[in-house]
Structure 1
Amino acid sequence: MATVASTLQNGSASTSETGLPALWEIRLSRSHNIPYYFNSATHESTWEPPLGTDTNTLKAYMAAHHSYILPVAALQQHQAVQPSKIRASQLLIKHAGSRRPSSWKEKVITRSEEEARQILLRHEAQIRSGQATLAELAVSESDCSSARKGGDLGLFGPGEMQKEFEEAAFALQVGEMSGVVKTASGLHLIERTA
């Protein structure tokens, strides 16, 4: 057991063995006695595999080297833990009642909330049917400045976004997209990316 903890803490396994992106390593949580992921350059830590992980390689590595250190109680505790930060993208459609009814696309937004909802529902239908991705549509259609990055908002944690947005984003699984989410900023489609 000491050897396993030290292997985890030293991050001695190579990227090709673990499937993790460069500079990421597997460490053992002292409080939960379960593995987590740590970036040695940024000192970021997460319970979820970081963006860019080869999940099949990681699953095989964890099954071969670390599955026996996860007693049932620790696994249940880990599953109940919310990640401290997630990554998401959005497509925002503002309306006249939005907190700031202007955007990079329109100096003054005059559409009604219902018109904004209909626009967003059409975008949602395109995404769900596979005609386009949220990122593709966000570039030209989102009223958020994140449009230039395909709607990517980067990593954020609790308390960093509006309450309704945060609740919807944290409820999603990685790769899942919300329905229409209303905040003071307007109407959003949210896709969790990590």
Structure 2
Amino acid sequence: MANPTGLPEGWEVRHSNSKNLPYYFNPTTKESRWDPPVDTDTEKLKTYMANHHSSGISPSDRKQEAEADGKIRAAHLLIKHKDSRRPSSWREQNIRRTKQEAISILLGHEQRIRSGQTTLAELATKESDCSSARKGGDLGYFGHGQMQKEFEDAAFALEKGEMSHVVETASGVHLIERLE
């Protein structure tokens, strides 16, 4: 079956939650890019993008489409440490804390959220090392295979409105809240 996106073999369109824009990703090589890869059928891609990544889709239609595709929506608060995959963030250029220090910080945040002093979204805006912080940690909709396995397993195991305990991934340590 021909690729309906017009992209070369192995490439797919994904959606950047931090920039709220589509991008191109090759899961085999892990390459991602904003511009279509070489050998893309641009006419086919234009049609695909108009039908699937147009801003004309209402939030309720997007939610319905995502749920039909088995996707969920979650937010998170990420604390990176010196051994994280990329030990820098919008908050701190060179993160030097240990993993144990990151976990300790996250446990303090978890306690404040569970006690009702604040919400994950409020804390994520100020404290998360992810660029999703500006959206209260909201990662949008995602399906299986789009997040790191530990993150995905924890997020899909949550009920709507439920928050995880500490989840460790290569990116750092997270609190995850299932939104939808």
Pairwise TM-score range, normalised by the shorter structure = 0.5 to 0.7
The structure number with the bigger radius of gyration is 1
Matched with 1:114 is: 100
Matched with 1:193 is: 179
Percent same amino acid among aligned pairs?
Answer: 66
Matched with 2:123 is: 137
- Number of aligned residue pairs: 123
Instruction: Work out which of the residue numbers 61, 84, 88 in structure 1 matches 2:74.
Output: 88
More helix by share: 1
Write the letter of the residue equivalent to 2:65: E
Matched with 2:114 is: 128
**d(CA) in 2 for partners of 1:131 and 1:150?**
16
Taking only aligned residues, the RMSD between alpha carbons, in angstroms, comes to: 1.9
Q: After the TM superposition, which segments of 4 or more aligned residues of structure 1 sit over 6 Å from their partners?
A: none
Measured against aligned partners, the alpha-carbon deviations of 1:102-145 in whole angstroms (never above 9, x if no partner) come to 00000000000000000000000000000000000000000000
Write the letter of the residue equivalent to 1:133: T
Structure 1 residue 172 displacement after superposition: 0.1
Structure 2's unaligned 5+ residue stretches are 1-57
TM-score calculated relative to the size of structure 1: 0.60
Write the letter of the residue equivalent to 1:160: Q
Q: Is the 8 A contact 2:66 2:141 kept in 1?
A: no
TM-score calculated relative to the size of structure 2: 0.65
Structure 1's unaligned 5+ residue stretches are 1-21, 25-38, 48-82
Matched with 1:44 is: 65
**d(CA) in 2 for partners of 1:131 and 1:45?**
32
Structure 1 residue 44 displacement after superposition: 1.3
Matched with 2:88 is: 102
Please state whether the residue corresponding to 1:148 is helix, strand or coil. helix
Write the letter of the residue equivalent to 2:131: S
Write the letter of the residue equivalent to 2:135: K
**d(CA) in 1 for partners of 2:80 and 2:145?**
22
